[in-house]
Chains A and B, each alone.
Chain A
């Protein structure tokens, strides 16, 4: 691993340089290109479960967070086909949980909601399932609301790899799969702490800190005015404005 190869790849016709061993997500991120994602989070081992980051690499559908780049790889990211696929995935996440944005403390700072806004989803095309899910408010500082869990496993990975605790994991299979805590019954019986990384990484309102909800007024929350990914894309604007010779 001493010598790393440099690869030339294209994303949506834009030529950029990627490093051997990088995933498509990492290469895109370095170039200021936003690939929507939920289970992926920089600093966590890629998991590839949400499929929202699906791109087309050399004509094949792959998840950008797990697929390494190869020399001269041609990647489609912002095509109507992929946008509609992502819309459908996000809509499925909305209908298979109980996502009541109107009273959710995470609203305005929620990545699921923010991607739905960015993709312009006004209503899902699928029927709502209204599943019966559990709420665990046993911990003095943390809520665990399974109604909003999208099974991204960010908390599983963060608690295991960053906090060194392993407080969360999956149980069950298929439709019955859910997040469980490393205790007989309740979150308060685990060693989880409100300062753990695992508490901050939740993209939705499934893991919430108590007594901080609604602190930021509507209009000033993270995704109120600018779509998710705007900050990343802002980094490439100066270059994108100039004519790029290699792009075709």
Chain B
């Protein structure tokens, strides 16, 4: 039975998980969602990689601030039929993108050397090979891969997410009523 259900994958890139919280905020409707779909790679079930079948929908929270974000986003694009930018960070960079007007060197200096609360006796900026390289600026998802839909908001309300998911899962166009399209 579950083999025929469409699969959904979700991830949080440069985000705060607020959009995932908003998804959980659909309350009891999550039982209906569980009837309609099977969760693939997602922090909700803690699956770290994709299964062997394609996903119908990939929900992306957050933009791309480092190379790992880019790799994850490209992996989602490869495995998902529809990719959706969920929230302002995925759509326009959001709060992390506030660093975009500050040179990277100055960002690092503030974070690891000069900031008022920094304690860093070694005076070194972390540069371990294990750490993903940070990008020159934070990129909205659609500037990295093709995104099929955008649900802005900080976060998009549970009703917005529900309305969009129900439309997509029932092959209807995603037409949000006026009060559900918000940028804050």
Q: Measuring CB to CB, which residues of chain A are less than 8 angstroms from any residue of chain B?
A: 94, 98-104, 107-108, 113, 116-118, 120, 122-124, 127-128, 130-133, 218, 224-227
Taken together as a complex, chains A and B put the C-alpha atoms of A227 and B178 apart, in Å, by 7
Q: Does B3 contact A (CB under 8 A)?
A: no
Chain A residues contacting B95 (CB-CB under 8 Å) are 100, 102-103
CB <8 Å contact, B154 and A101: yes
Contacts of A98 in B (CB 8 A): 101
> B100 near A: Cβ within 8 Å?
yes
- Scoring B residues 84 to 115 as 1 if CB is less than 8 Å from chain A, else 0, what string do you get? 01001001111101101100000000000000
Bound-state Cα–Cα, A120 to B150, Å: 11
Q: Give min CB distance, A203 to chain B, whole Å.
A: 15
The answer on a CB contact under 8 Å between A127 and B143 is yes
- Is B83 located at the chain interface by the 8 A CB criterion? no
Where chain B touches its partner, the secondary structure class is: mixed
B35 lies within 8 A of chain A by Cβ? no
Report B's interface with A, CB cutoff 8 A. 85, 88, 91-95, 97-98, 100-101, 137, 140, 142-143, 147, 149-152, 154, 176, 178-179, 181-184
Q: In the complex, given contacts A100-B95, A101-B184, what are 15 additional A-B residue pairs having Cβ atoms less than 8 angstroms apart?
A: A99-B92, A100-B88, A100-B97, A102-B94, A102-B95, A117-B182, A117-B183, A122-B152, A122-B181, A123-B91, A123-B140, A128-B93, A130-B101, A218-B184, A224-B179
CA of A107 to CA of B91, assembled, Å = 17
B137 A107 Cβ-Cβ under 8 A: no
Contacts of B150 in A (CB 8 A): 122-123
Tell me the bound Cα distance from A119 to B140 in angstroms: 21
B178/A133 in contact, CB under 8 A: no
CB distance from A132 to the nearest CB of B (A): 5
